Amino acid sequence: MMTVRRKFGPVLAAVLLAAVAGAQQTPTPASPSGTPPATDAQANDNSPARNITGKERRRATKLYLEASKLFQKEQYDAAIRDYEEAAKLDPENPNYAAATEVARSHAVTELIQTAAKARIRGDKTAEETALRRASELDPKNIGVAEHLREMAADAAEAQTKPLYEAGPDSLAPAPMLQPIAGTHSFHLKTDRRTAIQTVYRSYGIEASVDQSVTGPPVRFDLDDADFRQATQAVNMATDSFTVPLDAHRALVAKDTRENRQQFMRQEFETIYLGGMTTTEMTDIGNMAKQVFQAQQVVVEQSAGTLTIRATTDKLNAFNETLRQLLDGRSQVLLDIKLIQLAHNNSRNTGVQPPQQITAFNVYAEEQAILNQNQALVQQIISSGLAAPGDTLTILGILLASGQVSSSIFQNGIVLFGGGLTLSGVTPAPVAINLKLNSSESRELDAVQMRLGDGEEGTLKSGSRYPIETSQYSNLGTGGINIPGLTTAGTSGALSSLLSQLNTGAQTIPQVEYQDLGLTFKATPRVIRSGEVALTMDLKITALGGSALNGVPILNNRSYSGVVTLKEGSGVVVVSSVDKEESRALSGLPGLTEIPGLNQITDTDVQRNYASLLIIVTPRVVRSTQAAGHSPVLRIERGSTTQ
């Protein structure tokens, strides 16, 4: 268990009050923390060369106190200036000179750390500036001299290194810490810098703590923790994060957005997005920017690539998420069975009595036939077959020879009257019908459609019927009438083309093909329960029995809906039954209504029966995420802190 306690107190106020009291009671004011007090011998050795006024002593004391405040705030340059000014005003007090050396030592240490961080970032200018300032403050400092030698060696290596030679670490992965295995317990109550260094040093890691890690002391209690647990806990307690420098060194800084952008190592890579549309590539680029907060993302749609630059943890999380997305969607196999049954039956039986009777005048009909066939009549008379006035004989010869036909005289007739009023009656023919037509058809279509999750599939069963939608015609042209020019050319090809053009207008129809039969569209979606939500759209189109302005009328039936099916179970999703029956009687009014007689009259009965059954069985043949979600990926919490 870890507990962190902050100790608040007027530490700085106590130091300042003690310094003021010492300055008022004795000519040697209190020294800053870590500065040894002056002895009597040292005071005697540093005898004043001139008389120091009280105003100068008070001014020196005031500068000393202001320098102590600046020292506590780690503003070492300003503190050094105030300490040096105080020492000039009151050279009898050796604490001023000692405090100056302490502040100078801290300033040099801070500059060395700044140079080391600049070296990590590759900022040669900042490194050189920090080391030059440190050398000015302490020219004999061993650490400053060592860093200057390293910087000079790097400059010499850069000048002698071949330009074409790649750096050994250009493609190397980011460094990782290699701590000492084992567990440790910690019970610390100290400042944050010491707590961090103590924890890391316990596992063989040397931690360089940035000056941004500030705050009150912490109490850190943790038992039997390995390296990962201990470092994560101390980072949370001190509000810091760690950047590995090599296998045994690390940089620890305050966890802020600015520090992460400054110290965190970033990597970049190019990802190939083959087979993706422009919209899909844009969506992936937006996901990298919005979800993983990678601000440097470039999508090359023409090349199908995505180049991203981000920290290691964000890049790893993005790659894992993209791998899951590119792994493909779930696949669903739809077993579709279409069962169509059709039965047509037509029966026409019975006696069809005459529907009409024709009455006529024999003399008028006879004269009409003879007048229409005068040439034949003259031939019969000239041949002696009939006398000129024997009209009935002449009519009989014409009808018998087949040269003349008359339904009135050739059908059965009933005569009545005499002379010019001789008339006849001819009934219509009588028909006896015994006709039966019966047809039956059965059709089974078994179709398998493999679709991706969310993809639409279409099944069409039927024919394509041409329908004329419009017509256009070319306009015929006359001959060319240009003075001095009689033909368009002398070649045979041009003459043939011109002759075809001059033949007149030609009508060319515009035809549009219409799908007749069944059109079935389905879009499956695999839900988290393992079931399949199926979006269906069914349309049945057939030709009607009539046309409008030459355009056929189409009968259309459609169905659309969404149904949830269990995986592997067949369900009837569409069932359609059409049944049609018509009955027609043909007879004489009144007689067909008499019981018994209606059975012998002509009866035309038609029965049509059709049924359609669609059975769909979904089977999930590929499931990319059986759990319904991807694995949880952890990203450092500090990557989003302000």
pTM of the model: 0.43
Least confident of 156-165, 267-276, 316-325, 446-455: 156-165
User: How many other CB atoms sit within 10 Å of the CB of residue 351?
Assistant: 14
- 635 vs 333 pLDDT, higher one: 333
- 470 vs 600 pLDDT, higher one: 470
pLDDT digits (tens, 9 = 90+) for 534-583: 898 888 888 877 777 777 888 888 888 888 888 888 888 778 888 888 88
Whether residue 225 is predicted with pLDDT greater than 90 in this model: the reply is yes
User: How many other CB atoms sit within 10 Å of the CB of residue 96?
Assistant: 28
pLDDT digits (tens, 9 = 90+) for 45-87: 444 456 778 888 888 888 888 888 888 888 888 888 888 888 8
Distances from the Cα of 210 to the Cα of 17, 251, 270, angstroms: 30, 7, 33
Residue 409 binned pLDDT confidence (cut-offs 50, 70, 90): low
Residue 23 binned pLDDT confidence (cut-offs 50, 70, 90): very low
Whether residue 641 is predicted with pLDDT greater than 50 in this model: the reply is no
Instruction: Look at the block and give the residue holding tokens 């002056």.
Output: 38
Whether residue 463 is predicted with pLDDT greater than 80 in this model: the reply is yes
Closest CA to 123 of 263, 288, 297: 263
pLDDT at 359: 74
Residue 408 binned pLDDT confidence (cut-offs 50, 70, 90): low
pLDDT at 224: 92
Single-letter residue type at 54: G
Residue 640 binned pLDDT confidence (cut-offs 50, 70, 90): very low
pLDDT at 209: 92
Whether residue 3 is predicted with pLDDT greater than 50 in this model: the reply is no
- 196 vs 629 pLDDT, higher one: 196
First to last CA, the chain: 28
Mean pLDDT of 584-612: 75
Q: Rounded to 10 degrees, what is the CA torsion of 193, 198, 204, 209?
A: 0
Whether residue 631 is predicted with pLDDT greater than 80 in this model: the reply is no
Closest CA to 574 of 337, 391, 341, 405: 337
CB-CB contact of 60 with 22 (8 Å): no
pLDDT at 161: 53
CB-CB contact of 253 with 212 (8 Å): yes
Mean pLDDT of 181-206: 93
- 226 vs 595 pLDDT, higher one: 226
Mean pLDDT of 373-377: 80
pLDDT at 109: 85
pLDDT at 315: 85
Distance, CA of 350 to CA of 598 (rounded, Å): 9
Single-letter residue type at 417: G
Residue 183 binned pLDDT confidence (cut-offs 50, 70, 90): very high
pLDDT at 331: 86
Residue 350 binned pLDDT confidence (cut-offs 50, 70, 90): confident
Mean pLDDT across the chain? 76
pLDDT at 636: 56
- 641 vs 399 pLDDT, higher one: 399
Mean pLDDT of 234-249: 91
Residue 219 binned pLDDT confidence (cut-offs 50, 70, 90): very high
- 616 vs 478 pLDDT, higher one: 616
pLDDT digits (tens, 9 = 90+) for 501-527: 555 556 777 888 888 888 889 899 888
- 35 vs 379 pLDDT, higher one: 379
pLDDT at 198: 94
Residue 290 binned pLDDT confidence (cut-offs 50, 70, 90): confident
pLDDT at 485: 46
Least confident of 145-149, 275-279, 415-419: 415-419
Residue 40 binned pLDDT confidence (cut-offs 50, 70, 90): very low
Whether residue 96 is predicted with pLDDT greater than 60 in this model: the reply is yes
Whether residue 342 is predicted with pLDDT greater than 80 in this model: the reply is yes
Neighbouring residues of 584: CB distance < 8 A, sequence distance ≥ 6 = 603, 604, 605
DSSP for 502-533, written as a single string: HT--EEEEEEEEEEEEEEEEEEEEE-TTS-EE
Mean pLDDT of 473-482: 54
Mean pLDDT of 201-217: 92
Whether residue 395 is predicted with pLDDT greater than 50 in this model: the reply is yes
Whether residue 449 is predicted with pLDDT greater than 90 in this model: the reply is no
DSSP for 384-403, written as a single string: TSS-TT-HHHHHHHHHHHTS
Instruction: Look at the block and give the residue holding tokens 């009989």.
Output: 396
Least confident of 9-18, 94-103, 225-234: 9-18
CB-CB contact of 294 with 272 (8 Å): no
pLDDT at 467: 81
Mean pLDDT of 608-621: 86
pLDDT at 233: 93
Residue 12 binned pLDDT confidence (cut-offs 50, 70, 90): very low
SS3 content of the chain, % helix, strand, coil (to 5): 35, 35, 30
Least confident of 70-84, 305-319, 367-381: 367-381
Whether residue 407 is predicted with pLDDT greater than 60 in this model: the reply is yes
